[in-house]
Structure 1
């Protein structure tokens, strides 16, 4: 199985399982403060990992592809949408929405990620992929309709969908820098988003929890947000944005399963109908095959790689033969045909 698919599944599992745990904390920690603690736990944990890894690295390891100055605007936008606005909207939505329903509503992140990738960032798609997204959208609408209040607007569902839109923008902006170090990207996003949300919470006069609950929130954030984002960035490198979003759509099913076991939620008919629709949509994505003659334009970049058919270059340093490794390298123009997805080497037009 493609390593990108495994990374996307790992991202989905870690994030999906965090939703019911965050739901447990919503009643005890204010939403803005909880969002801050989740991201601070993610950022602190990942930057410690980043630092320890850097100290233990040897010159022969090749290091990692660090962020460049040109990456900063994309990173800032990703932090704004995905690290600040998205978590606050999710915590607000969780405060009035059953965790199992919230978990399935989070499938909308994959849908919105893909729509932005296709129509704004011009990533390719076909009818099979589009039909799969329609089924996932239909499942989300069924779920939102079932949990609407007797009178008024389903604000909880709308807040969660708003969070998904923010994360969809975040995912597409992060794709622009996905060839860089995933741990560094996720760690910086966590620290920046956590600090901003903490500042908002303090400005609002929100009471912060004790050390024990804060540490628990930080642990949930490290596992469910930090590690998930690291895996997600790795998947973006190998699958592109829309495909990664599609595989990531299993996250709500993980969260829903944990919710049913842990919190005792009782789902209605709409929950199961939405699950079938979303499952069918995900299956269409998982079984996609894309192949045609395509042209690789000349390009130069740095990322972790092996010497496969796309990496037949020379080295301007003494190479010990260890793979994978990281260094700046150049791709010459090439035309060929093979199954592929919009990874960092296949972002061509159709």
Structure 2
């Protein structure tokens, strides 16, 4: 990338992760202040966002683009988007909303975005990706960070903490399943639209089974603003910008910036909602951010003086071995 392209790419990533992070305080406000039920809120959020994305694809690219296909088959395509929608939208976001009913948005966001750690735990045995030393260190550091975050909360918060981790693991399972077993023929925008739509419909079905309901006429102007923000910038905007970033920077490099989303979520939750996380949370969060960086990094470039020192030592060792050989 040229300097200009890199600046454009970084701006794109910042916007995408800010929008991702903003979904946490917006969702927490609607759950805690407007008292929207968790599955009802998540269902309407993703049904609306999915319809917007698919309508955009229809207008921009034509009707054939929005037809889900896998290996040329519409039936298999519907199966793929249903599996992904149930794992990444229904399960992950359903668990997340259950979590944010019980704990602060800041801690929920940090635990939810531990999904790269769980992906790496499953990717090596499945042969999807290789475990190396930095990743192993990253996993250990990340698990320590999660344990530290869990330890700073009382027993009454345990269900909320576990729901956040279950959401992260659902997202990770979706990543592993799609990487190893599922194939989709259409562009990422089409997949995102169907995923949100189908996952949202299932969430609304769960909401009906739980007898969740809400009279939308009773929502305040602040609540309406947060709901629209959750649907448009935080869902449609973040998905769209993230897929564009993936296309420009590639999955490995782009995903290494995903830790910015919980960072922005925590900062916005402190400023907008008055969350007051303690030192233990910040220490645990820092370990989790470090672990995500390590998991997404293949090598660490040492400072130049240290590289020179190591190079001289290797040269000296090689010279001694040469003298010792017959």
Does TM-score exceed 0.5, indicating one fold?
A: yes
What's the CA shift for 1:201?
A: 1.5
What's the CA shift for 1:231?
A: 4.5
Identify if the C-alpha distance between structure 1 residues 140 and 246 changes in structure 2 by more than 3 Å, giving closer, same or farther: farther
Look up the match of 1:208.
Answer: 214
Paired with 1:220 and 1:142, the residues of 2 have a C-alpha distance of 30
Look up the match of 1:139.
Answer: 145
CA root-mean-square deviation: 3.3
Paired with 1:214 and 1:37, the residues of 2 have a C-alpha distance of 13
Q: Map Cα deviations across residues 254-301 of structure 1 (whole Å, 9 max, x no partner).
A: 1001111111111111112113212322443565359xxxxxxxxxxx
Matched, 1:21 2:31: no
Identify if the C-alpha distance between structure 1 residues 283 and 192 changes in structure 2 by more than 3 Å, giving closer, same or farther: closer
Look up the match of 1:252.
Answer: 262
Q: Map Cα deviations across residues 191-231 of structure 1 (whole Å, 9 max, x no partner).
A: 11111211221233211241665784354033323333344
Q: Rg: which structure is higher?
A: 2
Secondary structure of 1:123's counterpart equals: coil
Paired with 2:111 and 2:133, the residues of 1 have a C-alpha distance of 23
Instruction: Point out the structure with the larger strand share.
Output: 1
Instruction: Point out the structure with the larger helix share.
Output: 2
Look up the match of 1:328.
Answer: none
**Mean CA deviation greater in 91-100 or 5-14:** 5-14
Secondary structure of 2:257's counterpart equals: helix
How many residues align? The count is: 281
Look up the match of 1:32.
Answer: 39
Look up the match of 1:161.
Answer: 165
Paired with 1:146 and 1:129, the residues of 2 have a C-alpha distance of 26
2:53 to 19, 23, 46: 46
Paired with 2:257 and 2:69, the residues of 1 have a C-alpha distance of 26
Which runs of structure 2 are paired with 1:163-178 in the superposition (5 Å)?
A: 163-175=167-179, 176-177=182-183
Look up the match of 2:290.
Answer: 280
What's the CA shift for 1:80?
A: 1.3
Identify if the C-alpha distance between structure 1 residues 66 and 39 changes in structure 2 by more than 3 Å, giving closer, same or farther: closer
1:119 to 114, 121, 125: 125
List alignment gaps of at least 5 residues for structure 2: 301-326
